[in-house]
Structure 1
Amino acid sequence: MKKAWDNLRNRYHYSVVVFKELVKTDFQLRYQGSFLGVLWSVLKPLMLFAVMYVVFVRFLKFSDGTPSFAISLLCGTCLWSFFNESTSMGMSSIVNRGDLLRKIHFPNYIIVASTTMGAMISLAINLVVVIVFGFFAHAHYTWHVLLVPLNILQLYAIALGVALILATLYVYFRDVAHIWEVILQAMFYATPIIYPITMIAQRAPELAWVEKLLMMVPTTQAIMDVRHNLISPEDVPTIWTLVNNPLLCLLPYVASVVILWIGVHVFRKHSAKFAEVL
């Protein structure tokens, strides 16, 4: 057993070292030259939350009436910022590191993984802020908090899978950046972040089926699961409370694994030619 472990460690030692250095470098360069530095990883989602809270909650009355909706909005904003950042930056990571690929030999996927891990570090910082704010914003912390790491892992798997696919396409087609920007914008408004998902059926009962359809989207399901388990299990619905069919409830989880598998498969198939194309 020890011999197998030593062989595994020796085999991937170099890759782990490169991965750590890339994560460290990317995170440091992200805020290089700015006065507040790493504090922007907290201030950006807080500022975005403030704008959305004033516009959509105070003026447009997008709320489910529960006291925890404000902190749920903040949590959703942080989670979406992670998905947005990890996929967008992961998409261009290979092209941005083209000079490194031509000089040093190491697994190309490390570049994409390091970029998404940098976004994960920012998310971890933001979630600490969410938890602290939750004590003053009527959050109800229960044992469900123990499930949050699994929900975060699922969201990371989705983001990594998408980032690998986009990174591969971006090497050959730069237009992918503009297309993905539009898709992200559409996904943001389709995901119940600035509005409660129950608002759909309340304002248009004939569209109650849309709630179930949205919950089938893996990103929506993962974000709602995090908010449910972290903020308030009583106030935040999940796919298990909106959809009665257990098999349908499992679809987003299966889709998450499939997205990651497709991302890895597509990336591995084309990564050998990246240095030549770049």
Structure 2
Amino acid sequence: MSVIGDLKDSRGLLVNLTLREVRGKYKRTLLGQGWSLLNPIAVLLIYTLVFGFVLRVPVPIGENSGVQIFALYLACGLIPWTFFSNSVTSGMGALLGNANLLRKVYFWRPTLVVASVFAWDVTFAIELLVLMAALLIVGSMPLPWLPLLLLAVVLLTVFALGIALMLSVANVYFRDTQHFVSIGMQLWFYATPIVYPYSLIQDQADRMAADGNGFPLETIYRLNPMERFVSVFRSMLYDNTWPQWGDVLFCVVVAAASLGIGIWVFTRSQHRLVEEL
């Protein structure tokens, strides 16, 4: 049966599992879904204090918006990254966390991973709405970019889902996967211009070129998919400009490749999943 057919047959289960993930994320907590806002706000404040006030990272001026606020510049990159990181991490553990369900009932196995990622889309949407409201207050106008912003959310979801599918299988067969991913995510975060502007990388590349060092720093940096995604979100939200079409095309290609490889890896490896659990 095709993947689309499997997903269509499992849509009822997918909806129920997604709702279960959303409701259970902050179950029995005093603030409930309020933590979906307080957690990123706390992280945002910490990074703003360290990088904005202590280290004095330069704050770019929004190209069309004219906004020059470090916290908002940071949020435009941090919120997409947080969604990506949480989706991959939770999706990676979806199979192990539902081992009993997998042993008892047969269903399309990737549904667990898809539901885990979709649940984080709900938090992502709330955070983006709050960010857009804050941008409107300071004079930015992100609303005209809403259709393209939704496309960017879909592409980032697809990209995260593909990686989560691959890692969820790897995590079943090799339990060290989660520890390697935890370290890798930290390195990936700082390799992406989130707490600092991309102009710092350009300046460093220029200095290396002036010193006769031909190392293609900027070219290698742009191979980072999350750098492209962050650039797309910041262009629309912070700068109020069209993102570079090269960045959008890059995001489309890596999202499609990630999902295709993820489904292929999962399909090839799922026959022994229950035994390994």
Under TM normalisation by the shorter chain, which class is it? Answer: 0.7 to 0.9
Letter aligned with residue 231 of structure 1: Y
- 1:216–1:249 Cα contact (<8 Å) kept: no
Supply the AA of the counterpart residue of 1:43: L
Q: Kindly report which structure 2 residues correspond to 1:124-273, keeping only aligned pairs within 5 A, or say none.
A: 124-141=125-142, 143-202=144-203, 205-207=206-208, 209-233=216-240, 250-273=249-272
Task: Quote how far apart the aligned CAs of 1:65 are.
Answer: 3.8
Partners of 1:73 and 1:194 within 8 A in 2 = yes
Shift in alpha-carbon separation, 1:128–1:178, aligned structure 2, 3 A: same
| Paired residue secondary structure (1:135) | helix
1:192-214 CA distances to partner (integer Å, 9 max, x unpaired)?
11011112223562358534432
Correspondence for 1:62 among 57, 65, 68: 57
Aligned pairs (5 A) from 1:4-19: 14-19=9-14
Contact 2:162-2:263 at 8 Å conserved across structures? yes
TM-score by length of 2: 0.86
Residue type of the partner of 1:15?
S
Determine if contact 1:91/1:170 at 8 Å carries over to the other structure: yes
What are structure 2's unaligned runs of at least 5 residues? Answer: 62-67, 210-215
- Secondary structure in 1 aligned to 2:58? coil
Q: Could you say what secondary structure the match of 1:62 adopts? A: coil
* Post-superposition offset of 1:70: 2.7
Q: Deviations over 1:105-148 (max 9, x none)?
A: 11000000000001111100100110111123342436333211
Aligned to 2:32: 37
CA distance in 2, matches of 1:266, 1:107: 15
C-alpha distance after superposition, 1:71-104 (max 9, x if no partner)? 1211211111111110001001001111101111
Dislocated runs of 4+, deviation >4 Å: 11-14, 237-240, 248-252
1:13 to partner: Cα distance: 5.9
Gaps of 5+ in 1: 1-7, 241-245
Distance, in Å, in 2 between the alignment partners of 1:13 and 1:256 is 21
Deviates more, 1:54-63 or 1:197-206: 197-206
TM-score by length of 1: 0.86
Q: 1:256 Cα deviation (Å)?
A: 2.5
The answer as to whether partners of 2:232 and 2:248 remain within 8 angstroms in 1 is no
Partner of 1:3: none
Q: Residues 203 and 59 of structure 1: is their aligned pair in 2 closer, same or farther, counting only changes over 3 Å?
A: farther
CA contact (8 A) 1:152 1:222 kept: no
Map of 2:82 onto structure 1: 81
Same amino acid, percent of matched pairs:
28
Q: Secondary structure at the match of 2:162?
A: helix
Structure 1 contact 218–256 (Cα < 8 Å) conserved: no
1:149-195 CA-to-partner distances (Å, cap 9, x unmatched) read 11111111110010000001001001001100111000000111101
What is the total number of aligned residue pairs between the two structures?
Answer: 262
2: CA distance between counterparts of 1:137 and 1:188?
27
CA contact (8 A) 1:71 1:137 kept: no
Deviates more, 1:204-213 or 1:11-20: 204-213
Q: For the aligned residues, what is the CA RMSD?
A: 2.4
